[in-house]
Amino acid sequence: MTAGSKKQEKPKVAFFDFASCEGCQLTVVDSLQTHLDLLDAVEIVNFREAATLNGWDFDIAFVEGSITRPHDEERLRRIREQAKVLVALGACADTGCVNALKNLLPPEEVRRYVYGEHADWYETYGARPLSAVVKVDAVIPGCPIDREEFVEVVKALLVGKRPPIPDYPVCVECKLKGNVCIFHVGGICMGPVARAGCGAICPTYGDGCEGCRGIIPHPNENAMKEVLDEAGLSVDDMMHYFRMFNAYREVGVGQWE
């Protein structure tokens, strides 16, 4: 850690997005409510959602959204070339999030369902996370990202450390909060295999975890399936839970190219 008097230049930061709901960038904006000093720590040079700034001279790029069209790749590569550090901001960029649900279905049928006879007018391909296209240096998981975790990642980048993203499951944070286990009240929860970092917010509010932050690196999937089986889930139901936010992990781009 560089301490003391040495004045450092503020890193230039840019925000970009692809297919997403922009809720993660909104969470970034909301982080100013409690961390207005973010603006002293970094210089924002590009943030279309919140500012009329379009600078291309940046050190750190936070990129929200999944890649869903061949021509998105070109823009992402330009961002990659410029950025010293590229951070996948949120589940769409990190894991493909719900965008990848379409990958489970036959492409022709999906496009026809939405666009009818003009399906071939629209450029689209299998939804994928950023890392399927370019090298990603760090991720901030979650749908949406956790506000405090975003600030912690910025701090880590400021001091040149690897951002502290947990590899342990949501159960850990849920227990630390002293919550009633969702399974003990008849619910279904992905907490034992889903990545923590959200403060177990869904179980804390009485709803089972859906795994929006992705699956931990070494899940015991067999044991988890037994837990779900005991909770009364059919194999189909289990697949719904495993795939809701993690379809790309399960099937990649599927039948889409």
Partner 1 sequence: MTTLNVNVHYVTRVEGHGNIVVDIKHGEVKECRFEVVEAPRFFEAFVRGRPYHDINHIVSRICGICSVGHSTASTRATEKALNVELSEQAWLLRKLNFHGEILDSHVLHTYYLVAPDFFGVPSVIPLVETHREVVERALRLKKLAGDLCAMISGRHTHPCALVVGGFTHTPTERELRAMRERLVAARADMDATVDLFASLPWPQFERETEYVSLRKDDEYAFIDGVIVSSDGFTYPIEDYRKVTNEYLVPFSTAKWTKHNRESYMVGALARFNNNYDQLHPKAKEAAARFGMKPIVTNPFLNTAAQVVEMVHSLEDSIRIIDELLSRGVREEKPAPVKVQAGEGVGACEVPRGVLFHHYVYDEKGICVEANCIIPTNQNLANLNADIRALVPQILDRPQEEVRLLLEMLVRAYDPCISCSTHFLRVEFV
Partner 2 sequence: MRLWVLPKEQVVDMVCRLMADYRVWGPQAKGPQFAFEPLPDPTAIRLDYNISILSPKVALQPPQERIAVFHLDGGFTVEPVIDAEPTVIFGIHTCDLHALALLDKAFSADFPDAHYLERRQQTLLVSLECLQPCDEHSFCKSMGTWTADSGYDLHLMDLGDAYGVSVGTAAGEALLTQYAQARPATDTEAQQLHEARDAKRLRFPNRLNFDAAELPSLLATAYDHPIWAELGDRCLSCGACTNVCPTCYCFNVIDSPELSLKEAVRWRRWDSCQLDEFARVASGENFREARAARQRHRMFRKGKWLYERFGELGCVGCGRCIRACLTHINIVDTFNAIHASQHRR
Contacts to partner 2 by CB under 8 A: 1-5, 35, 37-38, 40-41, 151-152, 154-155, 158-159, 164, 167-169, 171-172, 175-181, 183-185, 191-193, 216-220, 222-224, 226-227
Name the phi and psi angles at 14, rounded to 5: -130, 150
Residue 23 CB, shortest distance to partner 1, in Å, is 2
Tokens of 193: 């295999």
Tokens of 244: 């809701």
Is 237 a residue that touches partner 1 (CB under 8 A)?
A: yes
The sign of the torsion formed by the CA atoms of 21, 203, 35, 166 equals negative
CB under 8 A: which stretch of 5-13, 106-114, 173-181, 217-225 binds partner 1? Answer: 106-114
Pairing of strands 43-47, 85-89: unpaired
Query: Looking at the DSSP assignment, which residues form a beta bridge with residue 177?
Result: none
Binding partner selected for residue 246 from partner 2, partner 1, none, CB under the kind-specific 5 to 8 Å limit = none
Say how far residue 20 (Cα) sits from the centre of its chain: 10
Tokens of 186: 């008849």
Q: Is 2 or 52 the residue whose CB approaches partner 2 more closely?
A: 2
Residue 36 CB, shortest distance to partner 2, in Å, is 10
How many beta carbons lie within 10 A of that of residue 8, not counting itself? 7
| Residue at 189: amino acid letter | C
| Residue at 153: amino acid letter | V
Q: Is 153 or 247 the residue whose CB approaches partner 1 more closely?
A: 247
Is 78 a residue that touches partner 1 (CB under 8 A)?
A: no
The sign of the torsion formed by the CA atoms of 68, 74, 75, 77 equals positive
Tell me how many residues contact partner 1 (CB under 8 A).
60
SS3 87: strand
Q: Is 76 or 165 the residue whose CB approaches partner 2 more closely?
A: 165
Is 206 a residue that touches partner 1 (CB under 8 A)?
A: yes
Binding partner selected for residue 193 from partner 1, partner 2, none, CB under the kind-specific 5 to 8 Å limit = partner 2
Distance in angstroms (rounded) separating the CA atoms of residues 25 and 89? 8
Residues lying near partner 1 in the complex (CB under 8 A): 18-27, 29-30, 32-34, 36, 39, 44, 47-54, 65, 68-69, 72, 97-99, 101-102, 104-105, 109-111, 113-115, 118, 121-122, 124, 127, 143-144, 201-202, 204-207, 210, 237, 240, 244
